[in-house]
């Protein structure tokens, strides 16, 4: 088993919109976080595509990626992910090919097959385009071809895009993308930050079926981990009431902006809702640095992943930055 120090640390950002702040504040904070992540030594920061959600400002993913790339110099920046069924593969290849042409060696494309929204918004995004289960693998293969050197007699050339060799990842919360990533020899990231139930099965399926490729010689796995690291366990649990309220709003179909923490989350939800929140956050690491370090080591021992990609929904933006500082301190202390 690798140590925490040997494990790569990355960040997944959704540009959360806070109840008392503007969307512009959320986008500016995404940049502040990215610049701190670069200084702290994080491997990568990804943005997730969601639509019609008042509390998430990362919907125009490639546009926001350009803003982050233009104001940093080293950290890898990418999508975690672009929801491919919402887009034509050629458009995505051109967008990310343009970013890679401008910011060579720093751009990554993580692809998901969920819509990242509700059914009505999905129809508005797709305008009658009907996605089938078979279409996603074909779309992924099409994008991979657009990033390679052109094939003989290739009729459509992604410009920019062709020959940029943008690294492509597959993302998933079930077994489908794990199987496809293994088949194509691509790196795989499991969305255990919100759907941990099939994590172990997906990792095993990916490892057992992995085929070496021009992209990877051996399997590479990252897993999403929600985190709140604070001075004490009590403070961390208090700060965690913000993401708990976010999940509660999802359960109730309201999808509100990020709310300030509360003293007693149990007063806001039923026992069944609290159980749902606990299941949602089954791999979350919430507590003091000592508690979180022990929890991350336990995850490594169980899953032996190559990388943790952390989420954090603390309301106070300064404390959110401190969360990622403390995580990197945990990593560096594990030498």
Residue 122 pLDDT > 90 = no
30 vs 265, which has greater pLDDT? 30
Q: What is the pLDDT of residue 194?
A: 83
Residue 183 pLDDT > 70 = yes
What's the average model confidence in pLDDT over 50-74?
Answer: 95
Quote the pTM value. 0.94
Which structure tokens are listed for 189? Answer: 């990231």
Between CA 181 and CA 171 the distance in angstroms is 9
Give me the chain's average pLDDT, please. Answer: 93
What's the average model confidence in pLDDT over 120-141?
Answer: 72
Convert 8-34 to b/e letters by CB count within 10 Å (16 or more is b). Answer: bbbbbbbbbbbeebeeeebbebbbebb
- Cβ 324 vs Cβ 317: under 8 Å: no
- Look at domain 8-227+303-332 and name its CATH class: alpha beta
pLDDT band with cut points at 50, 70 and 90 for residue 130: low
Helices (H), the chain: 23-40, 61-70, 89-102, 119-126, 135-147, 176-184, 199-209, 233-251, 271-280, 289-303, 317-332
């Amino acid at each position: 088993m690798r140590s925490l120090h040997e494990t790569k640390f990355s960040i997944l950002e959704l540009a959360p919109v806070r109840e008392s702040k503007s969307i512009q504040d959320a986008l500016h904070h995404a940049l502040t976080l990215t610049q701190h992540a670069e200084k702290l030594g994080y491997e990568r920061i990804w943005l997730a595509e969601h639509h019609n959600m008042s509390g998430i400002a990362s919907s125009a993913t490639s546009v926001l990626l350009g803003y982050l790339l233009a104001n940093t110099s080293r950290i890898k920046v990418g999508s975690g992910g672009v929801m491919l069924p919402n887009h034509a593969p050629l458009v995505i290849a051109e967008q990310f090919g343009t970013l890679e042409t401008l910011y060579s060696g720093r751009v990554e494309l993580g692809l998901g097959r969920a819509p990242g929204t509700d059914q009505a918004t999905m129809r508005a995004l797709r305008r009658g385009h009907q996605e089938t289960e078979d279409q996603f693998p074909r779309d992924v293969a099409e994008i991979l071809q657009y990033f390679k050197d052109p094939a003989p007699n290739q009729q459509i050339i992604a410009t920019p895009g062709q020959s940029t060799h943008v690294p492509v990842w597959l993302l998933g919360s079930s077994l489908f993308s794990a199987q496809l990533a293994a088949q194509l020899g691509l790196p795989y990231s499991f969305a255990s930050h919100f759907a941990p139930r099939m994590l172990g099965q997906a990792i095993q399926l990916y490892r057992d079926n992995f085929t070496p490729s021009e992209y990877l010689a051996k399997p590479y796995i990252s897993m999403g981990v929600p985190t709140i690291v604070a001075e004490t366990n009590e403070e961390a649990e208090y700060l965690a009431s913000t993401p708990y309220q976010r999940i509660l709003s999802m359960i109730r179909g309201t999808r509100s902006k990020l709310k300030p923490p509360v003293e007693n989350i149990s007063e806001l939800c039923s026992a069944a809702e609290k159980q749902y929140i606990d299941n949602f956050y089954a791999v979350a690491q919430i507590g003091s640095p000592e508690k979180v370090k022990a929890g991350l080591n336990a995850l490594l021992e169980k899953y032996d992943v190559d990388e943790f990609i952390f989420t954090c929904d603390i309301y106070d933006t300064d404390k959110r930055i401190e969360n990622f500082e403390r995580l990197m301190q945990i990593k560096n202390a594990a030498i």
